[in-house]
Amino acid sequence: MRRVAGYVCLFLGALVLTMGLIAKPVLYDNLAKVPLDQKTTLVSIGKHMSALEVSSAGVKVLKDATLQNTKIVVGIPGKAKGNNAFWQFLTVSKEVGGKNLDFSQQGVSIDRFTGEATNCCGDYKSIGTLDDPSALQSPYPHQGLFFKLPFDTQKVTYQWWDPDLGRTEPMRFLRTQQVQGVQTYVFQQKTGPVVYDHQKGLPGELFNSKKPVDADAVYENTRTLYVEPNTGLIINGVEQQNKRLEAAGLAPVPITEGTIGYTPATIKQNIEDLGNNGTILGFLNGPAKLAGIVLGLLLIVGGGFLAFAGSETAPSEPSVSRTRRSPSPV
């Protein structure tokens, strides 16, 4: 029985040792990649915001409005190549209970391991309008990170794509923070003010002017991301936006102004989607190798001792011969 237990320990030790040795180069590397068929819906709400509403009836400024921003991410496996994924990204902004205010759509190729844009698979950007959203610009190059931060996120500065500017801006690490029981790294990207467009002949009533106005479109935004570091997934996102029209000598007109962030339902869904992935990846990328090697060697040593050291049964006691003594003479 002792030898059987020893052989079992030897087998388990070899198995655990092997698992420890392949944890990082095999198990972790196979898990730490984004899916091809990603499906995610992210909803943000902002209260007491200002926004510019453009419609066939004209242009007007909404004040003290509640805005909803819905982002839908869908992976297209048929467009993926090699170690790249291709994800479509649709954004629709609207006044809650009102009309759509803006939309955008982009197709982005990303490296499945790093999350970096690769431009391998037909990247594009919509250039249509709310009334005719079908027009696309393709190819349309992307750079940096777009959907998530890398697996094994570090406390460093990353380059994050800003879709309004069409370029990357630094995303800097700030601190760690718990979000509903999930440990996150908090990153922040501060951009602007920067002029990103010039518009001519805008309606004068927007600026309290009797004549059409030429104005600069100015972009300013503080984007804060709460990121689960093992997966790089964004658990919560908040933006303090101040997009506006500026003309010399006239009061600025808001395009989008206010703070908007993920809804509690979206944060909850993100945490549910995360599941145990963060814990598993963190273990495989960290203590799994050392734990596997130490435990495996202990099992092997213990199994070897049980299987080969000594015999299964204790040795019998040596027999003692007894000599019969002659009776003493009387």
- pLDDT (tens digit per residue) in 150-206: 999 999 999 999 999 999 999 999 999 999 999 999 999 999 899 999 999 999 999
d(CA 167, CA 172): 16
What pLDDT score was predicted for residue 9? 64
Parse the chain into domains and list their residue ranges.
2-23+287-308, 32-275
DSSP state, residue 55: E
Residue 327 has pLDDT above 50, yes or no: no
Over the chain, what is the mean pLDDT?
Answer: 85
Pick the closest to residue 152 from 130, 107, 193, 185 (CA basis). 185
Residue 13 has pLDDT above 80, yes or no: no
Question: Residue 124 burial (CB < 10 Å; 0-12/13-18/19+)?
Answer: middle
- Residue found under tokens 């598993």: 280
d(CA 73, CA 260): 19
- pLDDT (tens digit per residue) in 226-278: 999 999 999 999 999 999 999 999 999 999 999 999 999 999 999 999 988 88
pLDDT band at 300 (very low <50, low <70, confident <90, very high): low
Helices (H) then strands (E): counts for the chain: 5, 12
* Amino acid occupying residue 325: R
Three-state DSSP class for 170?
A: strand
pLDDT band at 31 (very low <50, low <70, confident <90, very high): confident
pTM of the model: 0.83
